[in-house]
Amino acid sequence: MVLRSEHTTTVGTDSVALTLPDEYEGISTIVGITKLAATGTADREGSIPELLKQGQIIRIRIGYIVGTRRKYATIICNIDKIKTALGSLKNKAFRGGTIRSAYFARRQTLS
């Protein structure tokens, strides 16, 4: 089970706090999600469904390899970073493996 912790993303000029799994360490600058420092604060609290509906964040589906097994995960990306994120995620470390592909999910729900 992956522990959840506070992360921040930038929406306009505000920083928004989100509770996400603690697995964005190697890819935080690429997707625009950073872990909130122990003494840090955000301008406001937000939820993933709320920011998805507003078009501020988007879900990205990634395929990664751990050993010889291919696995998949869904991560959150700031909409301002989406142009470079899909290409930059390749060959980055994630959950003890290496990311091989990044793409938009075929079906996305906004709730």
pLDDT at position 8? 86
Q: Report if residue 111 sits inside a domain.
A: no
Which pLDDT value is given to residue 5?
82
| pLDDT (0 to 100) of residue 108 | 65
Total number of residues shown for the chain: 111
What SS3 class is residue 85?
Answer: helix
Question: What residue ranges of the chain have pLDDT lower than 50?
Answer: none
d(CA 73, CA 97): 12
Q: How far apart are CA 30 and CA 62, in angstroms?
A: 13
Rounded to two decimals, the pTM is 0.83
Does residue 8 lie within any of the structural domains?
yes
Full residue range of the structural domain in which residue 85 is found: 4-103
| 74 belongs to a structural domain | yes
**Is 108 contained in some domain?**
no
pLDDT (0 to 100) of residue 1:
58
Count CB atoms within 10 A of the CB of residue 31: 23
pLDDT of residue 38: 73
Instruction: Count Cα neighbours of 57 within 13 Å in the Cβ-side half-sphere.
Output: 26
Q: Structural domain tally of the chain?
A: 1
